[in-house]
Chains A and B, each alone.
Chain A
Amino acid sequence: MKDSAYIAAAWIGSFGAVGLYAAALIARGRRLSKVVPQDRRRWMSEGSAPRRRP
């Protein structure tokens, strides 16, 4: 295998992995946003509240 193939694999692998992760993250955020009421989507508004554990 030529060096250029390893170089291409490194770049395509990195860009592809980051792209897939970002797409999955945004899709997950959209899915969750449909479930959570808007008043609970104010980021960090309850950030100082003690953590609730089951």
Chain B
Amino acid sequence: MTVDNPVPAAPGPISTASTATRVLGLISIVGLVALAVFGLVLSPPDAKLGETIRILYMHVPTVSTAYLAFVITAVASIAYLWKRTEFWDLLAASCAELGVLFFGLTILNGMLWGKITWGVFWRWEPRLTTTAVLMLTYIGYLAVRQIPNDTRTRGTITAMIPITHKAVDWWRGLHQEKTIFGTVNPDMRGLQLFTAYLGLVVFLVLFAWLLIHRFRVAWLTERAADVGVDAAIAERRAERALGSDPTPSPGGAS
């Protein structure tokens, strides 16, 4: 079912926006501008990392948001297997797509940071490798969703999440230790710490905003399919009614 069918325009608001999403969207835009000002201008360079800390102001929020999205995907998938309601299915799918987006940005920022720090864009160390595997897994998840009646596979795939999440603790690779959530006393201080937390908050709001819109688009996609089915059924009934229409033939029979 495509959405390009010549269906008459439906009345009512023609968007997925609401008052809540408009407020979230405004906060997101203002927050991103503030993050750029703090991250690129006001925050001083780090004693160890130098200017590369400015990439981490983007890297840490994106990876945190991606993990949050994947955790919600896992929880929603389990809830769907239990409840079997459309809400959980669409929530899982919406979060998975956003997770792939933010994970893609995480890998992009990580590669740029690695090029400056390590001299190469990529190394096959455990954290990076499992991160790439997780991203590919969720791309596969989104592909599997295109196959009808495959809900159990979806739930199984999401079991990869804890493996990657714990990879930094299980293997000692080149990757940074966690500096914000992983230690009681963070290495960052002052404006650096504020900017890092600002990034996390802004990206959480941004994630919420995108998730609401993505969920509504998923919902509309399902309803658009229903509209197509309803139209096809109505058309078939009309044809049947026309075929059994007892209109007198030209010869006057019946």
Contact = CB atoms under 8 A, between A and B. Distances in A.
Nearest to A24: B217
B223 A34 contact: no
Contacts of B217: 25, 28-29, 32
Interface residues of A, number: 40
Given A6-B55, A11-B58, A14-B58, A33 B10 contact: yes
A47 B3 CA distance: 22
Nearest to B33: A15
B58 A29 contact: no
Given A13-B105, A38-B12, A48-B87, A43 B227 contact: no
25 contacts: A3-B52, A6-B112, A7-B51, A7-B112, A10-B113, A13-B105, A14-B108, A15-B32, A17-B101, A22-B210, A29-B16, A33-B12, A33-B13, A33-B16, A34-B10, A36-B227, A37-B10, A38-B10, A40-B226, A43-B219, A44-B87, A48-B85, A48-B87, A51-B84, A53-B149
Nearest to A16: B105
A36 B10 contact: yes
A46 B109 CA distance: 40
Contacts of B148: 53-54
A35 B7 contact: yes
A23 B153 CA distance: 31
A9 B58 CA distance: 11
Nearest to A44: B87
Most chain A beta-carbon neighbours within 10 Å: one of B15, B40, B62: B15
Interface range on chain B: under 10, 10 to 19, 20 to 34, or 35 or more?
Answer: 35 or more
Contacts of B206: 18
Contact of A30 (B7, B15, B36, B84): B15
A51 B109 contact: no
A50 to B, nearest CB: 6
B11 interface: yes
Interface string B155-173: 0000000000000000000
Interface string B73-116: 00000000000111101000000000001001100110011011
Nearest to A17: B105
Given A22-B210, A40-B226, 5 more contacts: A17-B104, A35-B3, A36-B227, A37-B10, A44-B219
Contacts of B51: 3-4, 7
B122 to A, nearest CB: 14
